[in-house]
Amino acid sequence: MPQNILRGMKKILPFLLIVFHFNLTAQWENAYAFFGVGQAYYQGDLNATSFPTGEILNMSYKWGAGYNLHTRFGLTIHYTRSSLNGSDLFSSDNDRKARGLSFNSPVREFGLNFKIRNLTGVEGRTISYLFSGLNFFSFNPTVTRSQDSDINYAVENDFPKSGLNIPFGLGFGYWFTGNIGLVGELSLHSTFTDFIDGISKNGNPNFNDAFIDGHAMLIFRFSEWEGTGKKSQRRSKGWSPGKVRSIKCPGL
């Protein structure tokens, strides 16, 4: 009896390995990694303009991984490292300049985001998506005051230096091969704190701070390598029936 079971297992094992291989391959085809470089800037009491100027743009680095659940939906997990700054001295408003406050702060962010993919409804070489989710981020502002400041500045130190933010973003890009693509991404991060800049009572405590970042990101998909010479493989984003030539079989 044990020998019969052993012989049966030997017959079943190759089949199970094949099924496992195809299942694992299909899962890897939906997974990808990314790394991006860009810039970030802050919106709050110490920045009076909606659009960034050179003084408040800071380098930002973003990397992570994603998984496509469906042709229209996906998930990503990421880590971002950047910094933010602002100053009344950059403003053209005389009252702000008279206040004379400035800050800078490192920012570290970790998040899980949900993507709506293929906005055109057609899956191909073009990449397009919207995303949102929930991010945890930390900050640690250093506030300085101009010698010409005319306010009675009260130092504010007793506040949390981490919290949650909700991103609202979009991305557009292109797959150069079945595995490698480039995407540009822009997102607004709405926070639940008024202390990214280290001030609240010394500014306007009725509105929370926010920040915006943008990245140019290189994407690598974990499917079987498909160079530019193998576009006829269906796993390639560039696959289409028109690109597959007919195969002439020898006569039987």
* Structure-token match 């299909």, residue found: 26
DSSP secondary structure code for residue 250 in this structure: P
Domains with residue ranges and CATH for the chain? 35-237 (2.40.160.20)
Per DSSP, the residues of 168-194 read: EEEEEEEESSSSEEEEEEEEEEEES-S
* Structure-token match 């960034």, residue found: 52
Name the 3-class secondary structure at 232.
coil
DSSP secondary structure code for residue 244 in this structure: P
Say yes or no to pLDDT of 16 above 50: no
Neighbour-count burial for 62-86, b at 16+ CB within 10 Å, e otherwise: bbbebebeeeeebebebebebbbbb
For residue 139, what are its two tokens?
Answer: 């900050």
The larger pLDDT score, comparing residue 80 to residue 224, is at 80
Rounded Cα distance between 119 and 110, Å, is 26
The larger pLDDT score, comparing residue 61 to residue 226, is at 61
**pTM, two decimal places:** 0.78
The larger pLDDT score, comparing residue 158 to residue 236, is at 158
User: Cα–Cα–Cα angle for 51, 57, 61, nearest 5°?
Assistant: 120
Residue 48 burial by Cβ neighbours in a 10 Å radius (0-12, 13-18, 19+) = middle
The percentage of residues in the chain with a pLDDT greater than 90, rounded to a whole number, is 56
- How confident is the model at residue 27, as a pLDDT? 64
- How confident is the model at residue 116, as a pLDDT? 96
Say yes or no to pLDDT of 60 above 80: yes
Most confident of 14-23, 41-50, 220-229: 41-50
Average pLDDT (117-140) is 92
Average pLDDT (141-169) is 91
